[in-house]
A and B are shown apart, each in its own frame.
Chain A
Amino acid sequence: MIRFEAVSVTYPDATRPVLRDVELDIPEGELCLVVGRTGSGKSTLLRCINGLVPHFTGGRLTGRVSVDGRDTRVFPPRELADTVGFVGQDPLTGFVTDIVEDELAYGMESLGVAPHVMRRRVEETLDLLGLADVRDRPLLSLSAGQQQRVAIGSVLTVHPRVLVLDEPTSALDPAAAEDVLSALTRLVHDLGMTVVLAEHRLERVVQYADRVVFVPGQGRPIESGPPAELLAHTPVAPPVVELGRLAGWSPLPLSVRDARRAAGPLRARLAGATPPTRSSGRRSSVAEMRGVTAAYGDVLALRGVDLTVHRGEVLAVMGRNGAGKSTLLSVLAGLRQPSAGVVSVVGAPTHDRPARDVIRRVGLVPHEPTDLLWAQSVDVECAEADKDARVESGRTRRVLAELAPEVDGDMHPRDLSEGQRLSLALAIVLASAPPLVLLDEPTRGLDYPAKHRLVGILRDLTSRDHGVVLATHDVELAAELADRIVVMAEGEVVADGPAGEVAVASPVFAPQVAKVLAPLPWLTVGEVAAAIAG
């Protein structure tokens, strides 16, 4: 269906090709998962399929990419629109209209599909993706999961033979991600569609994949094969596969179900051991919220939230999109005034205080770290941050050197990788050494190695008595890092307790290792490895 023949791609101004001599053949009806580190060329590979590379991005493509027998050199993306449906990373930037129904119909209008056919397909797609209730709502008013499903639906209505998705679940909570993925598997199974998707959070997708394509980056040859074979040696692997590698299971399990069936002996072996305790006793508190309520117009984002953050602990705030996690952080950081209740960070409120005083007590790395960056180079950015924080010059640069030593000071912040940008934003926030550090969804777009580094950085912060609060959808990150987990729903705290208890108790928020080893309270592969070794 999709055929790459000796394909190399070199972007303008680049010294070496992103992809070199790619040979790949994806047959019809497969769900193909593209994995690799950030910046390895996954997106480039995906964009070659519908001709966005090189027709749109520029650069030089040698070799031949053909889809359904059509050569992308001859057919630009718009002429391939009836064969390949492409869904980009951020659904919001791809929306052309403003109402759900119109968005679903837009692609068909461009292709000149007959009106009665359009009407039927829109109705079918609304049902297939569970969007019928929101059909006449503005796109901006939808939740992230709904937006992502609209984005998928809007390319499905033209009945493409191939669907290409770039990180379709990265902004979604676990339940919404399940929705999107189950819709995708239904398309593959019921309609025989060929689906190619890139994803960092392998734990969500790998079990559905028929084939994995590993892009190692730096122009090294790509590998393609059945998931179990390929994941046995790739540097990126979901926890369940890492656990399988550790325990030496063969064939390697890809789903929790397969792993549980193989895990009997491991569970027996671990039965006597206890995982290391995390919460290091009650320490003094760094931030308090008492009865905090916050509203947007007539919608309550927080209702009577009581929360204490202690020094030296990592608190993970979880919950579905729109549960109030981000509002909680912005109230703590003093960006929003609570409509009722008391917020105090290191003994004083944060709203209505001068910003330069507040940043000495609390720092927030926002959802889009880029928002914090506006200088033309990393060095200028760091110098500005020193001035903002009123610390001695060079401090931010030193913090950044600890977090991400490889970052070149002359680079433009927008040219950094996601992980490096996050490090830079974090360095700016840490320059004034606030006792409370807040991170909003820090792992979006981060690959496993970058995540491991983030874990190390945050652990180091807590050992120096900072309190860390992170809002996240990433259950594996929370399992790895959090001492305490707070689950929010409808603006209220519905669970608050040690990570082990909360994560294991909930099927949605449990990490894969906990699901495999339940009822034993193990959360991460690292803990299991230590127990087996010790």
Chain B
Amino acid sequence: MTRLPRALHPAAWWGWATALAVAASRTTNPLLLGLIVSVTAYVAVARRPATPWSRSYVVFLRIGLAAIAIRVTLFTLLGTVPGTHILVTLPEVPLPSWMAGVRLGGPVSLEGVLAALYDGLRLAVILVCVGAANTLTSPRRLLKSLPSALQEAGVAATVALAFAPQAVMSVGRLRSARRLRGRPDTGLRSLRGLAVPVLEGALDRSVDLAAAMDARGFGRRGPTPRRVRRATAALLLGGLVAILASSYALIDDSAPDVLGFPLLLAGGVLAGTGFALGARTGGRSRYRPDPWGAAEWLVVGCGVVAAICVSVAPSGDVFTATSPPTAPTLPLLPLAGFMVALLPAWLAPPLPRPRGSTTTPPTVPVRERWMPADDWVTNR
């Protein structure tokens, strides 16, 4: 079977990554969590496009490691988990009586450290899943393929995403301007002086942008009657709130069951009706939408299989006991699930080559400024 090179639908990658994140949230077994990291890393390397954001995997990995470190450090200092295996006893800082229940220092138990480590690891792996999705497809492309009822919200989000790089550019220019006025351009004091001009510049730009967007038809009503627009908005809002509430209930074990899947279903139906109504009457269209084909179903399916395998596995296998400390086991069912989740590395179609050349895309200096944007990084 020969497959045409094409970029996979961004929602497929996000679906796959979300399913793996769900799987990660339902286990504290370090072996399984490590497995998820390997799976996402392999797939991300195999199918990442040559774009600036395709390096974000490493960034998220670092944030994850930081999360583990913070979690374990905080526990060691403030931990209150009782345990029999005391690793070390830190000097305890006496606290005033109104802070009863908080302890600073004191004995550190192996049970507590392990629990903190596994919890931090779980958070880190969820972050890594987000990083993998970011690497495989840009969040902007995902916003582009939002249902038409949400497209304008998507445009607003796209614009907001552009704020950070623009602010970075302004900071670079203003730091040079400080130097041109004979003030030091490093240090904390210089940063304080930058905040106001950067925000002023951003405000000016956003007013200009709003005018440009208005002039280009953003927020156009078109021929849709007001009643239909209101109904669409109400359906969407209700549906999305229901989905949000139900996903919270699904993650939190103590929530009543009725808030879980039934509410999710109801929310899905509401939002779906809203989307359908919006698509029929929205008056917007979409340029070159990403197709959703068999490959997309397969990729999402692989992720879902892994999530289900972890969810139905006996809890003794996926939750490694910390009190008393036991060695983690490698349960077969989740292992099989993750092997399936690895398949998108081959199932996803190959990526098209960048146009024009086989080498890296051209990096011609951005429109010439007296102080180009990336300069603040190199100039530090």
Chain A residues near B (Cβ < 8 Å): 50, 52, 55-56, 76-79, 81-82, 84, 86, 88, 90, 92-98, 101-102, 105-115, 118-119, 122, 133, 135-137, 140-144, 147, 154-155, 158, 296-299, 301, 321-327, 329-330, 333-337, 354-356, 358-359, 363-364, 366-368, 371-372, 374, 385, 388-389, 414, 428-429, 432, 440
Cα of A94 to Cα of B174 in the assembled complex, Å: 22
Interchain CB contact (< 8 A) of B215 among A81, A326, A334, A372: A81
Residues of A within 8 A of B185 (CB): 355
Contacts of B162 in A (CB 8 A): 98
> B180, A81: Cβ atoms under 8 Å?
no
Contacts of A105 in B (CB 8 A): 287-288
Does B197 contact A111, Cβ atoms closer than 8 Å? no
CA distance A336 to B368 in the complex (A): 14
Q: Is the CB of A78 within 8 A of B217?
A: yes
Interface 1/0 per residue, B270-308 and A, CB below 8 Å: 000000000000111111110000000000000000000
Check A140 against B366 for contact (C-beta < 8 Å).
Answer: yes
- B151, B220, B364: the one contacting A79 at CB < 8 Å is B220
Chain A, Cβ-Cβ closest to B178: A355
| Contact indicator B220/A299 (Cβ below 8 Å) | no
- Report the minimal beta-carbon distance from B284 to chain A, rounded to whole angstroms: 5
Cβ of B47 under 8 Å from chain A:
no
Minimum distance in angstroms from B181 CB to a CB of chain A: 5
Give the distance in Å from the alpha carbon of A186 to the alpha carbon of B38 in the complex. Answer: 57
Partner of B370, one of A96, A109, A329: A329
Contact B220 A111 (CB under 8 A): yes
B residues near A137, Cβ cutoff 8 Å:
361-362
Q: How far is the CB of A422 from chain B (nearest CB, A)?
A: 14
Interface residues in B168-209 (C-beta closer than 8 Å to A): 173-174, 176-185, 193, 196-197, 200, 205, 208-209
| Distance (whole angstroms) from the CB of A381 to the closest CB of chain B | 10
Q: Is the CB of B367 within 8 A of A321?
A: yes
Q: Assuming A98-B140, A110-B216, A112-B222, is B197 touching A374 (CB within 8 A)?
A: yes
Is the CB of B155 closer than 8 A to any CB of chain A?
yes
For residue B291, give the distance in angstroms from its CB to the closest CB of chain A: 12
In the complex, the answer to whether B366 meets A336 with C-beta atoms within 8 Å is no
* A371 CB, min distance to chain B CBs, angstroms: 4
Q: Are B182 and A358 in contact (CB under 8 A)?
A: yes
Given A112-B222, A113-B285, A336-B375, also A298-B182 (CB < 8 A): no
Q: List, sorted by A's number, 22 A–B pairs whose CB atoms are closer than 8 Å.
A: A56-B210, A78-B215, A78-B219, A86-B212, A93-B209, A93-B212, A96-B159, A101-B287, A106-B216, A111-B283, A112-B285, A115-B285, A135-B355, A299-B365, A322-B364, A324-B368, A325-B368, A333-B180, A366-B173, A367-B370, A388-B183, A414-B200
Partner of B367, one of A52, A82, A93, A143: A143
Report A479 CB to chain B, min CB distance, Å: 22
B211 at the binding interface (Cβ < 8 Å): yes
Which residues on the A side are within 8 Å of B217 (C-beta)?
78, 81-82, 107, 110-111, 158
Q: Known interface pairs A81-B217, A102-B144, A143-B364. Does A330 touch B176 (Cβ–Cβ under 8 Å)?
A: yes
Q: Given the known A-B contacts A52-B215, A109-B284, are A133 and B356 also in contact in the complex, defined by CB atoms under 8 Å?
A: yes
CA distance A468 to B162 in the complex (A): 37
Report how many residues on chain B are interfacial, defined by Cβ distance under 8 Å. Answer: 68
Give the distance in Å from the alpha carbon of A216 to the alpha carbon of B211 in the complex. Answer: 26
Given contacts A98-B162, A329-B370, contact A359 B182 (CB under 8 A): yes
What's the Cα separation between A366 and B375 when bound, in Å?
15
Give the distance to chain B from A156, nearest Cβ to Cβ, in Å. Answer: 12
The distance from the CB of B379 to the nearest CB of chain A, in whole angstroms, is: 7
Interface of B is mostly: loop
Tell me if A335 and B371 are in contact (CB < 8 A). Answer: yes
A79→B176 CA distance, assembly (Å): 42
Q: Which of B200, B368, B374 has the most CB of A within 10 A?
A: B368
B214 contacts the other chain (CB 8 A):
yes
For B181, give the chain A residue with the smallest CB separation: A388
- Residues of B214-230 whose CB lies within 8 A of A: 214-222
Question: Is B2 an interface position by the 8 A CB rule?
Answer: no
A363 to B177, CA, bound (A): 11
Contacts of A135 in B (CB 8 A): 355
Q: Quick one: which of B215, B285, B375, B378 contacts A109, CB cutoff 8 A? A: B285
**CB of B97 within 8 A of chain A?**
no
Asked whether B173 lies within 8 Å of A88 as measured between CB atoms, the reply is no
Known: A296-B374, A322-B364. 18 other contacts (CB 8 A): A78-B218, A81-B217, A84-B215, A96-B209, A97-B158, A102-B287, A110-B216, A113-B285, A143-B364, A296-B378, A325-B368, A326-B370, A335-B375, A336-B375, A355-B184, A359-B180, A372-B180, A374-B197
In the complex, which of the residues B182, B212, B285, B373 contacts A96, with contact meaning CB atoms closer than 8 Å? B212
Cβ A52 vs Cβ B284 within 8 A: no
Contact assessment for A363 and B180 in the assembled complex, using a CB-CB cutoff below 8 Å? yes
Q: Which residue of A is nearest B200, CB measured?
A: A414
Q: Does B3 contact A (CB under 8 A)?
A: no
Chain B residues lying within 8 Å of A144, measured Cβ to Cβ, are 367-368
Q: A98-B162, A366-B371 are in contact. Are A88 and B364 (CB under 8 A)?
A: no
Chain A to chain B: the 6 pairs with minimum beta-carbon distance, closest first:
A81-B217, A105-B287, A94-B212, A110-B217, A359-B182, A93-B208
Tell me the minimal C-beta distance from B137 to chain A in angstroms.
Answer: 14
User: Which residues does chain B contribute within 8 Å of A358, judged by CB atoms?
Assistant: 179, 182
Write the nearest CB–CB distance from A68 to chain B, whole angstroms: 16
CB closest chain-A residue, reference B375: A336
Which of A88, A101, A374 makes the CB contact (< 8 A) with B211?
A88
Interface check B363, CB cutoff 8 A: yes
The chain B residue with its CB closest to the CB of A110 is B217
- B372 interface hit (Cβ, 8 Å): yes
B70 within 8 A of A: no
CB distance from B35 to the nearest CB of A (A): 35
Distance of A92 Cα from B140 Cα, bound (Å): 18
In the complex, residue of chain A having the shortest beta-carbon distance to the beta carbon of B354? A136
- CB-CB under 8 A from B196, the residues of chain A are 374
The residues of B that contact A119 with a CB separation of less than 8 Å are 287-288
Q: Are A326 and B368 in contact, with the CB atoms below 8 A? A: yes
CB B374 to nearest CB in A, in angstroms, measures 7
- Hey, which chain B residues are within 8 Å of A96, CB to CB? 155, 158-159, 209, 212-213, 216, 218
Known pairs A81-B215, A154-B216; A109 contacts B371 (CB<8 A): no
Is the beta-carbon distance between A335 and B181 smaller than 8 angstroms? no
**Shortest beta-carbon distance, B178 to chain A, in Å?**
8
A135 to B374, CA, bound (A): 23
Q: When chains A and B are docked, how far (Å) is the Cα of A88 from the Cα of B214?
A: 12
Binary interface encoding of chain B residues 131-156 relative to chain A, with 1 for a CB under 8 A from any of its CBs, else 0: 00000000010001000000100010
Contacts of B370 in A (CB 8 A): 326, 329-330, 335, 364, 366-367, 440
Q: A140-B366, A147-B367 are in contact. Are A108 and B287 (CB under 8 A)?
A: yes
B106 CB, min distance to chain A CBs, angstroms: 50
In chain A, what residue has the closest Cβ to B166?
A92
Q: Please name all residues of chain B whose beta carbon is closer than 8 Å to the beta carbon of A374 when the two chains form the complex.
A: 174, 193, 196-197
Q: Cβ of A432: which chain B residues have Cβ within 8 Å of it?
A: 182
